[in-house]
């Protein structure tokens, strides 16, 4: 008998891709699912599309927010309604393979905190990705908590994972964080459930299709209002290093310091562009502080992020 699974889909002005997203969910080969579609005060035809789907499939449940609160608040609204064994997230402009849920469920056992899969990055909706031979990796909880901030294998995202509802407890997404909320959620989810036997399983099969669009809920734009909100990510990352379950995990601390270093480089550029001198100095000090930890950990990052030291030197030469 299939255990119930909840799928949470936050929607904001997603009319262009929403039908493909919802079709990929109702056509899962795993049938015991409940789909919570949270309309976050969209101004396009998204809510009309959702209502049409609720008529076609009773497993789709519309949650209609009257005020736009952002992706974290939208997810949290649905988290309060969970009554399933497992839950996952899908962004409204993405889509998944037919075996997305069944594969992630099959990898779970009593010691598994969550399962994860690979993803295909696409600039537009295209044909399904052809997966090669499968490789499944196992991580202890202490190993995995470092992996979710390094963009490798497990990745930092929430939408390529299947979590256990019983392990959610009172955890929610940080609504004050405007960037990196998935990483913060995953860090705390793992930390709250660390035991010697706890594991995370990850498959390299690319079952999730991430469609990069200008209107993507997780896309980062550079303006002063969002800039200051996104600064809260740095505070959240710093705080995570002091969690009782993680404060003695040296590997985790170094990896968090490394991501702070990389993000600081981006924010140095943004603060320069917006002529925020004090902010530029703040991020400059963070980059200098954590440069040494990044050097130790740089091989744990993908190719783009391994160029961090090069970017640091260029910024140091031309912007400071």
1-26: pLDDT as tens digits: 899 999 999 999 999 999 999 999 99
Structure-token pair, residue 300: 């744990």
pLDDT by residue, tens only, the chain of 320 residues: 899 999 999 999 999 999 999 999 999 999 999 999 999 999 999 999 999 999 999 999 999 999 999 999 999 999 999 999 999 999 999 999 999 999 999 999 999 999 999 999 876 555 666 667 899 999 999 999 988 887 667 888 999 999 999 999 999 999 988 778 999 999 999 999 999 999 999 999 999 999 876 544 444 455 666 666 667 888 899 999 999 999 999 999 999 999 898 888 888 888 887 888 888 888 899 999 999 998 888 777 665 465 555 555 555 555 55
d(CA 31, CA 17): 22
Unique residue bearing structure tokens 């015991």: 32
Angle between helices 308-318 and 277-297 (to 10 degrees): 150
Unique residue bearing structure tokens 């200008």: 214
Residue 99 burial by Cβ neighbours in a 10 Å radius (0-12, 13-18, 19+): middle
5-211 CATH fold? Spore Coat Polysaccharide Biosynthesis Protein SpsA; Chain A (3.90.550)
Give me the pLDDT at residue 219, please.
45
Residues forming a β-bridge with 225: none
Give me the pLDDT at residue 217, please.
45
Residue ranges of domains in the chain: 5-211, 224-318
Residues forming a β-bridge with 163: 87, 114
d(CA 315, CA 320): 7
Sign of CA dihedral 299, 304, 308, 314: positive
d(CA 104, CA 146): 21
pLDDT in tens, 45-96: 999 999 999 999 999 999 999 999 999 999 999 999 999 999 999 999 999 9
Measured in whole angstroms, how far is the alpha carbon of residue 66 from the centre of its chain? 25
Specify whether the CB–CB gap between 216 and 94 falls below 8 A. no
């Amino acid at each position: 008998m299939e255990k119930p699974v909840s799928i949470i889909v936050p929607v904001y002005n997603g009319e262009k891709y929403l039908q493909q997203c919802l079709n990929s969910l109702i056509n899962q080969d795993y049938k015991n699912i409940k789909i919570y579609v949270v309309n976050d005060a969209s101004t396009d035809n998204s809510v009309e599309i959702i209502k049409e789907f609720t008529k076609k499939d009773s497993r789709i449940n519309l949650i209609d927010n009257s005020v736009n609160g952002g992706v974290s608040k939208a997810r949290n609204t649905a988290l309060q309604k969970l009554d399933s064994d497992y839950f996952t997230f899908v962004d409204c402009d993405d889509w998944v393979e037919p075996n997305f849920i069944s594969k992630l469920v099959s990898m779970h056992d009593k010691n598994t905190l969550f399962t994860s899969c690979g993803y295909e990055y696409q600039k537009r909706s295209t044909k399904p990705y052809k997966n090669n031979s499968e490789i499944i990796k196992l991580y202890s909880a202490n190993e995995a908590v470092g992996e979710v901030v390094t963009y490798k294998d497990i990745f930092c995202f929430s939408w390529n994972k299947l979590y256990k509802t019983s392990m959610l407890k009172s955890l929610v997404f940080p609504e004050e964080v405007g960037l990196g909320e998935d990483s913060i959620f995953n860090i705390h989810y793992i930390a709250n459930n660390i035991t010697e036997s706890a594991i995370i399983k990850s498959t390299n099969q690319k079952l999730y299709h991430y469609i990069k669009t200008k209107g993507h809920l997780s896309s980062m734009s550079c303006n002063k209002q969002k800039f200051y909100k996104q600064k809260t990510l740095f505070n959240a990352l710093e705080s995570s290093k002091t969690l009782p379950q993680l404060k003695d995990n040296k590997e985790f601390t170094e990896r968090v310091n490394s991501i702070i270093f990389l993000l600081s480089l981006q924010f140095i550029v943004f603060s320069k562009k917006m002529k925020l001198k004090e902010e530029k100095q703040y991020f400059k000090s963070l980059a200098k502080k954590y440069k040494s930890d990044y050097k130790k950990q740089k091989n744990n990052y993908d190719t783009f992020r391994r160029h961090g030291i090069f970017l640091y030197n260029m910024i140091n030469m031309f912007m400071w």
